[in-house]
Amino acid sequence: MGKINVMKHAFVPEHRPVSKEDEEEILEGMNVPKDKLPKILKSDPVLQQLEGVHGKIEEGRIIKIVRNSSTAGEANAYRLVVDR
């Protein structure tokens, strides 16, 4: 069996790394320090898939997740990349 691209699965929402330039603006807009964001593991299958596209994603980067929401149509969430 070949490797599965989890991001193509219907249950996995869109993940996208936030560029370093945009980080500050996003955090400012939400009035939240970086370390108070929800976390995503560096070893997460989605992140490994993303690294294939965007190159290496270090600890401390922010991932934007766009979900389909039953209440709001589309909802944005952000996660901080952590190791371990």
Q: Which residues of the shown chain bind other proteins in the complex (CB under 8 A)?
A: 30-33, 36-38, 67, 69, 71-72, 75-78
Report how far residue 20's alpha carbon sits from residue 37's, in angstroms, rounded to the nearest whole number: 16
**Residues 5 and 49 sit within 8 Å (Cβ to Cβ):** yes
Report how far residue 1's alpha carbon sits from residue 22's, in angstroms, rounded to the nearest whole number: 39
CB of 31 to other proteins, least distance (A): 6
CB of 2 to other proteins, least distance (A): 31
CB of 5 to other proteins, least distance (A): 26
